[in-house]
Amino acid sequence: MNKLIYLDNAATTKTAPEVVEAMLPYFTENYGNPSSVYSFASGNKDVITRQREIIADTLGANGNEIYFTAGGSESDNWALKATAEAYGNKGKHIITTKIEHHAVLHTCEYLEKQGYEVTYLDVDENGIVKLDDLKAAIRPDTILISVMYANNEIGTIQPIQEIGEIAHEKGILFHTDAVQAFCQVPIDVDACHIDMLSASAHKLNGPKGIGFLYIRKGVKIRSFVHGGAQERKRRAGTENVPGIVGFGKAVERAAASLKERTEKEIELRDYLIGRIGAEIPYSRLNGDRVKRLPNNVNFSFRFIEGESLLIKLDMKGICASSGSACTSGSLDPSHVLLAIGLPHEIAHGSLRMTLSEETTKEDLDFVVDSLKEIVQHLRNMSPLYEDFIKKQSKRQEEK
């Protein structure tokens, strides 16, 4: 059996051992409910407050602007639905993009059914929102702009500061889904005029099932879960203390290593992009070459289909993901790859590899060597490749 090479860190990451260690006492020893009066339990209230501060510090925010949730999807749902509800009397128009995560897109579709109007902005061939399009889409009844910080599939980082400035100038709330970007790129909510921001712990070596929504002080946003007084009465339910502690530890760890870690990842990412581009013909890098998450590589290989590629890679111990229809459970390939203008057949042949701090150059060499072999094997089986080669040799003869 080959060594496991895990290149799907945009899907989820390994919980860091020190994170698990920090969490453990909150299961078996300090298990008290933070809302209880006795000192055995109420100490946990301070523990939670401390984690809020750790997280807020990385964003230039205040601890009381961090609201814990069950993860990124809940945060996105909350931001959109509660804003729509709270500001519905001001207007019913929301602006977002075609490349958002489904947690945003499907929530927008739900809001459309509730009588809201949503503009889905196009992106350019690298997946970047065009600011002129955004400006043109703004109407007097626009209440919210929601643009992801960085894309989960192609890694493209949006001009968040410019978008925030436009929103701020027009007095429109600005939400960003930063699930992929948080602790991968430095974020300053004030400089970028971000009013709400979603993030999740398990993307940065924290545990699953815990996330937060940053809500700027002054933004009136309704309760998402009704019940107890937790999370400043906005999200009821006994706090997930171990999860929150794990999240705090993961953020502390990721924030401390941010510069060094991402510099190393960028070097490896560019090495991988360079080798694939040079050694595998008819391949195409998806997403912006520079404005890109440090750990994201996304290629399309013409004439082959993504699921086949993933199974072949799996046989070699390599974990990755694809935007092909077969892996999405629908007949259409990834909406992100279609939005950047890829034809269906090329979108079907996409491969996303997302690195971690543990990825080594040797791993990537093995991956590229395996990929070369697998891509050629699948192309030899592909009628599209056969037609392409025949067409080419015919052209050669004509010359």
Partner 1 sequence: MYTEKVMDHFEHPRNVGEIENASGVGTVGNAKCGDIMRIYLDIDENQIIRDVKFKTFGCGAAVATSSMATELVKGKNINEAMQITNKAVMEALDGLPPVKVHCSLLAEEAIHAALWDYAEKHDIKIEGLTKPKSDIHEGEEEEEEEY
List the catalytic residues.
326
Helix, coil or strand: residue 103:
helix
Number of helices followed by number of strands (H, E) in the chain: 15, 12
Window of 78-86, 112-120, 178-186, 327-335 that interacts with partner 1 by CB under 8 A: 327-335
The answer on whether 230 is annotated among ligand-binding residues is no
Quickly list DSSP for 294-342. TTEEEEEETTS-HHHHHHHHHHTTEE-B--SHHHHTSSS--HHHHHTT-
Helix, coil or strand: residue 32:
coil
Please pick, from the candidates 89, 331, 394, 399, the single residue that binds partner 1 as defined by CB under 8 A.
331
Please pick, from the candidates 141, 232, 311, 369, the single residue that binds partner 1 as defined by CB under 8 A.
311
Could you report how far apart the first and last alpha carbons of the chain are, in Å? 49
Residue 26 interacts with partner 1 (CB under 8 A): yes or no: no
Measured from the CB of residue 376, what is the shortest distance to partner 1 in angstroms?
13
Identity of the residue, 133 or 345, whose beta carbon is nearer to partner 1 in the bound complex: 345
Non-local CB neighbours of 4 within 8 Å, separated by 6+ positions = 317, 319
Residue 281 interacts with partner 1 (CB under 8 A): yes or no: yes
Please pick, from the candidates 56, 304, 340, 375, the single residue that binds partner 1 as defined by CB under 8 A.
304
Residue 115 interacts with partner 1 (CB under 8 A): yes or no: no
Measured from the CB of residue 323, what is the shortest distance to partner 1 in angstroms?
11
What is the rounded distance in angstroms from the CA atom of residue 210 to the CA atom of residue 306?
31
Identity of the residue, 282 or 366, whose beta carbon is nearer to partner 1 in the bound complex: 282
What is the rounded distance in angstroms from the CA atom of residue 183 to the CA atom of residue 67?
17
- Token pair for residue 297? 């590589």
Residue 398 interacts with partner 1 (CB under 8 A): yes or no: no
The answer on whether 319 is annotated among ligand-binding residues is no
Residue 382 interacts with partner 1 (CB under 8 A): yes or no: yes
Q: Which residues on neighbouring strands pair with residue 351, listed in sequence order? A: 299
Q: Which residues on neighbouring strands pair with residue 356, listed in sequence order? A: none
Residue 120 interacts with partner 1 (CB under 8 A): yes or no: no
Identity of the residue, 49 or 376, whose beta carbon is nearer to partner 1 in the bound complex: 376
Residue 130 interacts with partner 1 (CB under 8 A): yes or no: no
Window of 10-18, 103-111, 187-195, 324-332 that interacts with partner 1 by CB under 8 A: 324-332
Non-local CB neighbours of 13 within 8 Å, separated by 6+ positions = 202, 203, 204, 205, 206, 356
Q: How many CB atoms lie within 10 A of CB 132?
A: 8
Residue 284 interacts with partner 1 (CB under 8 A): yes or no: yes
Measured from the CB of residue 351, what is the shortest distance to partner 1 in angstroms?
14
Q: Which residues on neighbouring strands pair with residue 353, listed in sequence order? A: 297
Residue 308 interacts with partner 1 (CB under 8 A): yes or no: yes
Identity of the residue, 114 or 392, whose beta carbon is nearer to partner 1 in the bound complex: 392
Non-local CB neighbours of 396 within 8 Å, separated by 6+ positions = none
Residue 380 interacts with partner 1 (CB under 8 A): yes or no: yes
Question: Rounded to whole angstroms, what are the CA distances from 238 to 32, 223, 328?
Answer: 10, 15, 34
What is the rounded distance in angstroms from the CA atom of residue 392 to the CA atom of residue 384?
12
Identity of the residue, 14 or 284, whose beta carbon is nearer to partner 1 in the bound complex: 284
Q: What's the helix, strand, coil split of the chain in %, to 5? A: 45, 15, 35
The distance from CA 219 to its chain's CA centroid, rounded to whole angstroms, is 24
337-356: which residues touch partner 1 (CB under 8 A)? 343-345, 348
Measured from the CB of residue 319, what is the shortest distance to partner 1 in angstroms?
15
Measured from the CB of residue 349, what is the shortest distance to partner 1 in angstroms?
9
Question: Rounded to whole angstroms, what are the CA distances from 282 to 127, 273, 276, 285, 349?
Answer: 20, 14, 10, 10, 11
Window of 105-113, 223-231, 286-294, 374-382 that interacts with partner 1 by CB under 8 A: 374-382
Residue 124 interacts with partner 1 (CB under 8 A): yes or no: no
Residue 326 interacts with partner 1 (CB under 8 A): yes or no: yes
The binding site for [2Fe-2S] cluster comprises: 326
Q: Which residues bind partner 1 (CB under 8 A)?
A: 281-284, 302-305, 307-308, 311, 315, 324-326, 329, 331, 333, 343-345, 348, 380-386
The binding site comprises: 72-73, 152, 180, 200-202, 238, 326
